[in-house]
């Protein structure tokens, strides 16, 4: 693993241009075909890209939970309970207040009608993503939750059944995103599509944003770790936990200690030799990862804020006040990123590629609408009339002004 000075980290920390433009060119005709031909186009692309010959998108979850091991089932139940509790704490509340005599304001909260969760099924099955995408929707009260996965593993189907989701569709890629964006003869239209995917899934979500709600356009996964000291074994293990996701994954350690950087680099090599996923992890470490020597922890946090990482690991809570941009923050030596990936409670579907500058991770807020409510008495309207009519006429909207004046005796 490379060890760099902070001045050498520019290329490393600069966003690698994911082949988004190329992916969009590939995806655009797929989206249009599904829009025009519905299921026929979905079946065609499923055969071409995923080797799926079935003429029915749906997959039954009946009995899948019974095929899970007791240990796995208990793990899902623990994770789901924590994710559910966290989502309940996040849930916005309805309220109504009197701002002034006769002027009552408030908000009501309503769930989306239908949500589709995309669950990748490439290198690794991701039943944890079923938990992360489905449970907040249930907390929000979404009445129809669907899952799309081109080759749903037994664990994915079992987790879906445990959570009470029986609408699983064996479709993937851009055609799955298009199917839920437009609706087909057999695939229901969704209000929002959530969940991670490859670059073609990301490109499809980007092109269809506006026609359907999305969480965000996600790129390769990333972690930025800040440490002045610590246990090299633990830091190296955290870097490899991120690196094993994908050859494009990125794991960066920002440290004030060259000795620590060298110890972590040595530990990465030692652990790689014993890691079953080393073929993937080594490429991510060599291509996209490094330890970077910085002058101070403040400098490290400044660099982290410029990068706006998906995952940010910091040594203690004293630095939290300085964190401006991150998808999720992991505080202290016993808060590995893997805890958030699976069971601690916050969502693991997180913004990448700098999107953490404008939003946090997937949450219950992605599944609800907060609708404003206002009720005025005649007296309250009369009191506001001068401000309303003056603003309306300044904008040239005479009918707006008169709609108020017509009500005032």
Q: Domains, the chain, ranges and CATH?
A: 2-16+220-345 (3.40.50.1980), 20-98+107-217 (3.40.50.1980), 377-405 (no CATH)
Among the listed residues 246, 250, 249, the one whose alpha carbon sits nearest the alpha carbon of residue 224: 250
What is the predicted pLDDT for the residue at 15? Answer: 57
What is the predicted pLDDT for the residue at 17? Answer: 54
| Residue in 161, 244, 267, 310 annotated catalytic | 310
| Residue in 57, 82, 245, 311 annotated catalytic | 311
What is the predicted pLDDT for the residue at 10? Answer: 77
Q: How far apart are the C-alpha atoms of 384 and 378, rounded to whole Å?
A: 10
Are 194 and 177 in contact by the 8 Å Cβ rule? The answer is no
pLDDT along the chain (409 residues), means of 10: 88 66 94 97 94 88 97 98 98 97 98 97 90 98 97 96 97 97 97 94 95 92 96 98 94 97 98 97 96 96 95 97 98 97 97 93 98 98 98 98 97
What is the predicted pLDDT for the residue at 123? Answer: 79
Query: Sign (positive/negative) of CA torsion 276, 280, 283, 288?
Result: negative
234 has catalytic annotation: no
What is the predicted pLDDT for the residue at 334? Answer: 97
> Given phi > 0 = left and psi -120 to 50 = alpha, else beta, which region is 365?
alpha
Q: How far apart are the C-alpha atoms of 81 and 195, rounded to whole Å?
A: 20
What is the predicted pLDDT for the residue at 41? Answer: 97
Query: Sign (positive/negative) of CA torsion 54, 56, 62, 68?
Result: positive
311 has catalytic annotation: yes
């Amino acid at each position: 693993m490379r060890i760099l000075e902070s001045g050498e980290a520019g290329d490393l920390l600069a966003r690698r241009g994911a082949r988004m433009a190329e992916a969009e060119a590939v995806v655009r005709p797929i989206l249009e075909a599904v829009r025009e031909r519905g299921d026929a186009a979905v079946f065609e692309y499923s055969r071409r890209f995923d080797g799926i010959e079935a003429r029915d998108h749906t997959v039954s979850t009946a009995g899948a939970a019974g095929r899970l091991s007791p240990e796995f089932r208990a793990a899902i139940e623990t994770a789901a309970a924590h994710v559910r509790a966290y989502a309940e704490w996040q849930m916005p509340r309805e309220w109504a207040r009197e701002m002034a005599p006769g002027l009552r304001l408030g908000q009501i909260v309503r769930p989306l009608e239908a949500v589709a969760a995309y669950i990748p099924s490439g290198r690794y099955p991701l039943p944890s993503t079923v938990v992360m995408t489905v449970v907040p929707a249930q907390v929000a009260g979404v009445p129809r939750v669907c899952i799309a996965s081109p080759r749903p593993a037994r664990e994915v189907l079992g987790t879906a059944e445990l959570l009470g989701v029986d609408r699983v569709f064996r479709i993937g890629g851009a055609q799955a995103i298009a199917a839920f964006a437009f609706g087909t003869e057999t695939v229901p239209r969704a209000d929002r599509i959530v969940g991670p995917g490859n670059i073609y899934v990301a490109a499809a979500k980007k092109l269809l944003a506006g026609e359907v709600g999305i969480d965000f356009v996600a790129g390769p996964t990333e972690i930025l770790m800040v440490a002045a000291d610590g246990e090299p074994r633990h830091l190296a293990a955290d870097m490899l936990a991120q690196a094993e996701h994908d050859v494009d994954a990125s794991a960066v350690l920002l440290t004030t200690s060259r000795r620590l950087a060298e110890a972590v680099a040595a530990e990465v090599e030692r652990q790689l030799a014993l890691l079953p996923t080393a073929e993937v992890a080594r490429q991510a470490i060599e291509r996209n990862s490094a330890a970077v020597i910085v002058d101070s922890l403040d400098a490290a946090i400044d660099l982290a804020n410029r990068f706006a990482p998906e995952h940010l690991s910091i040594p203690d809570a004293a630095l939290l006040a300085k964190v401006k941009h991150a998808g999720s923050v992991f505080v202290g030596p016993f808060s590995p990123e893997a805890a958030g990936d699976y069971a601690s409670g916050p969502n693991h579907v997180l913004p990448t590629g700098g999107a953490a500058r404008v939003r946090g991770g997937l949450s219950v807020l992605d599944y609800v609408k907060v609708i404003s409510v206002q009720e005025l008495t005649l007296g309250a309207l009369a009191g506001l009339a001068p401000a309303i009519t003056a603003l309306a006429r300044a904008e040239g909207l005479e009918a707006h002004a008169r709609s108020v004046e017509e009500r005032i005796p």
